[in-house]
Amino acid sequence: MKTTNEDIEIVPAKNQLRLFGFEDYFNSFIKLYEKKQLPNSMLFSGPKGLGKSTFAYHIINYLLSNNEERKYSTKDFVIDETNLSYKLLSTNVHPNFFLIENNLLEKDIKIEQIRNLLKFLNKSTYSRNLKVIMIDNAENLNLNSSNALLKAIEEPQNNTFFFLIHNSASKILDTVKSRCTEFKFAFTTSQKKNIFANIITQYKSEFEINEINEIMENYYFDTPGNLVKYLLALDKANISITENTLKCIYHFIEKYKIEKNPETLSFLSLFIEKFYNELCLNNNKNLNSYFFNQSKILKQIDEMRRFNLNEKNIFIWIKDILQNEAK
């Protein structure tokens, strides 16, 4: 694999200019909006990294830029960088847009964030009275913040649209879910392959043919987000995509011992998930054991990251488990 450090980076959803996949879904949303049938409160559910937030930002850009000179391109599903709404959304200063997301250091979405949202809803806007609210990782709404949100999403103001992004691996409160129209995001194997091919092209990585085929044939990349993280990890470590997964895990263990970089633990977790996905594909007799051990390892890594635990004994324990699994 021939890449440079500038080739691959994780682009935040709000800065993704091109929509990868879900084009038909997008057209359906446009038709609903044009017919004035777009639900005011929407819940986007699906696996993390699937592109739900990117899709929401594209819909939001379409709504807010509709009267602008350089509005959203519904032909190519691309946001124009000179589009005024894009500039304002990407810096989170659009007067018609309100974003709620959880702090990296605090998992829960706090009630104070909802109170600020309610203040926003009572303000006038500078364009068409259109107001758009996005709540990312809505499963992190706690009981108090959920209760404070209920009336707003149950009785939304005219021309106000809520987009709640939900990682389906975590449960969202029923009181919130029942007040939204849920849209479940998923794609077929053929759609996934096309999306992955587009991502590889976008990131301008000069993969050999056999490496591209390797990417396409490995179904453990369940989401575009995981593929991008994986490419980034390989690029930073200068490792070929055809490298043995266990060898990659050992690489990131040794790398963390030297650098103590939390990002390295994230990559380590990603490769451990990949390792267990490969085991499950090759041997479905020990699935319960695989899932149990994977959960134990990932939980231990997460605690090591959060509580700055001594890694020496933990890594020895992880290596012992993985070596036994690989036999």
Asked whether 269 and 257 are in contact (CB, 8 A), the reply is no
DSSP annotation of 286:
G
Mean predicted confidence (pLDDT) in 33-47: 94
Q: Give yes or no for residue 306 having a pLDDT over 70.
A: yes
Reported as a pLDDT band with limits 50, 70 and 90, residue 173 is confident
Q: Domains in the chain and their CATH numbers? A: 22-184 (3.40.50.300), 189-326 (no CATH)
Considering the chain, what percentage of its residues have pLDDT values greater than 90? 35
pLDDT tens column, 262-305: 778 878 888 888 888 888 877 776 778 888 888 899 888 888 87
Q: Give yes or no for residue 214 having a pLDDT over 80.
A: no
CA distances from 118 to 14, 38, 71, 133 (A): 23, 22, 28, 11
- pLDDT, greater one: 307 or 113: 113
pTM: 0.70
DSSP annotation of 69:
T
Q: What is the pLDDT of residue 3?
A: 39
Q: What is the pLDDT of residue 2?
A: 39
3-class secondary-structure state, position 266: helix
Asked whether 102 and 108 are in contact (CB, 8 A), the reply is yes
Show Cβ contacts of residue 324 under 8 Å, excluding neighbours closer than 6 positions. Answer: none
Show Cβ contacts of residue 21 under 8 Å, excluding neighbours closer than 6 positions. Answer: 51, 187, 191, 194, 195, 224
For the chain, give the mean pLDDT: 83
Residue 135 falls in which region: left (phi positive, over 0), alpha (psi -120 to 50) or beta: beta
3-class secondary-structure state, position 229: helix
Distance CA 1, CA 206 (A): 6
Considering the chain, what percentage of its residues have pLDDT values greater than 70? 86
- pLDDT, greater one: 27 or 257: 27
- Residue 127: HSE in the Cβ half-sphere, 13 Å Cα cutoff: 14
Distance CA 156, CA 117 (A): 12
DSSP assignment string, 6-25 = TT-----GGG--B--S-HHH
- Residue 42 phi/psi, 5° resolution? -120, 140
- Residue 184: HSE in the Cβ half-sphere, 13 Å Cα cutoff: 3
Sheet of strand 160-167: strand arrangement: 97-100, 131-135, 160-167, 41-46, 181-184
pLDDT tens column, 183-204: 999 877 777 777 777 776 665 4
Q: What is the pLDDT of residue 167?
A: 87
Length of the chain: 327
Q: Give yes or no for residue 172 having a pLDDT over 80.
A: yes
Distance CA 7, CA 119 (A): 42
Angle at 258 between CA 253 and CA 260, to 5 degrees: 80
Sign of CA dihedral 84, 85, 87, 93: positive
CA distances from 37 to 42, 222, 269 (A): 12, 32, 42
Among the listed residues 179, 176, 213, the one whose alpha carbon sits nearest the alpha carbon of residue 197:
213
Q: What is the pLDDT of residue 221?
A: 63
Q: What is the pLDDT of residue 128?
A: 61
Q: Give yes or no for residue 208 having a pLDDT over 80.
A: no
End-to-end CA distance of the chain: 29
SS3 content of the chain, % helix, strand, coil (to 5): 55, 10, 35
pLDDT tens column, 87-99: 999 999 999 999 9
Q: Give yes or no for residue 161 having a pLDDT over 90.
A: yes
Asked whether 288 and 264 are in contact (CB, 8 A), the reply is no
Q: Give yes or no for residue 38 having a pLDDT over 80.
A: yes
In this structure, how many other beta carbons lie within 10 angstroms of the beta carbon of residue 89? 24
pLDDT tens column, 105-159: 567 899 999 999 999 998 876 556 799 999 999 999 999 999 999 989 998 888 8
